[in-house]
Amino acid sequence: MRASTTKNKWLNKFIVLAFWIIVWQLVYILINNELYVPAPINVIKTLKVLIFKIDFWQSVGFSIFRTLAGIAISIVLGIVFGIVCSTNAFMYELINPLVIAIKSTPIMSFIIIALVWFSSDNVTIFICFLMCFPLIWTNVVEGIKNVDKNILSMAEVYKVKKIVVFNKIYVPAVFPYFSTACVSSIGLGWKASIAAEVLSNPKYSIGGQLYNAKLYMDSSELFAWTFVVIVISIVFESLFKKVWENKFKY
């Protein structure tokens, strides 16, 4: 029964993929201009050439590293400031306007400012952190605020140790909020990192490759690198969910 379900699941994915490739091919035929929309087969051929180049793997590796660094920093600081702000009203009022400003400001504005402040390599890490931090911070604060007050009161009455209250009450209550924020941060951080790389153009980066493809009007390579961005984003989120579900269940 399980094998049959798995088979049907993969069959459905194949049908969906085939459908959109056919749509892509029809759009290519309709527009009939390789500059605007390259043929799927040409993009596949370009991708086959790219994956055998050292530059390809260097660009992918460095882009992933910068993104993970930005996400890691945002998680650490998001947790720390989230805990502080949820227990201290003044700190919440102090940080909240900054978070609102970050959420409201277009990402391109931050990238341009960061280009003045940092080197091209560090721009990506900073932008990734900046986009992910509000998500982590907000969810940690919300999670702590929504902890059942009756359970906390009961723990206080029975004089339960603070470490036990933290591990058995706060962590399970906050975890769903935190988990959701992390999953969202992966997708958002990855897209923000690539956008930052397009403008900052560090030596090895997917964003830099996208910019060069656009500069030389190579639509097949532009689509190929875009496909790589999408695939890595899907793999990131899938791996994270699988590891999170298996290792950190509450």
Q: Check whether residue 47 and residue 70 sit in a common domain.
A: yes
Q: Check whether residue 80 and residue 157 sit in a common domain.
A: yes
Q: Check whether residue 44 and residue 26 sit in a common domain.
A: no
Q: Check whether residue 9 and residue 102 sit in a common domain.
A: no
Residue type, 130: L
Q: Read off the pLDDT of residues 124-162 as tens digits, 9 standing for 90 and up.
A: 999 999 999 999 999 988 888 887 777 777 776 766 677
Q: Check whether residue 27 and residue 41 sit in a common domain.
A: no
In this prediction, residue 6 carries a pLDDT of 61
Domain count, the chain: 2
Q: Check whether residue 116 and residue 86 sit in a common domain.
A: yes
Q: Check whether residue 50 and residue 98 sit in a common domain.
A: yes
Burial (CB count <10 Å: 0-12, 13-18, 19+), residue 113: middle
In this prediction, residue 134 carries a pLDDT of 92
Positions in the chain short of pLDDT 50: 1
Q: Check whether residue 6 and residue 93 sit in a common domain.
A: no
Domain harbouring 79, CATH code: 1.10.3720.10
In this prediction, residue 64 carries a pLDDT of 92
In this prediction, residue 4 carries a pLDDT of 59
Domain range for 19: 1-32
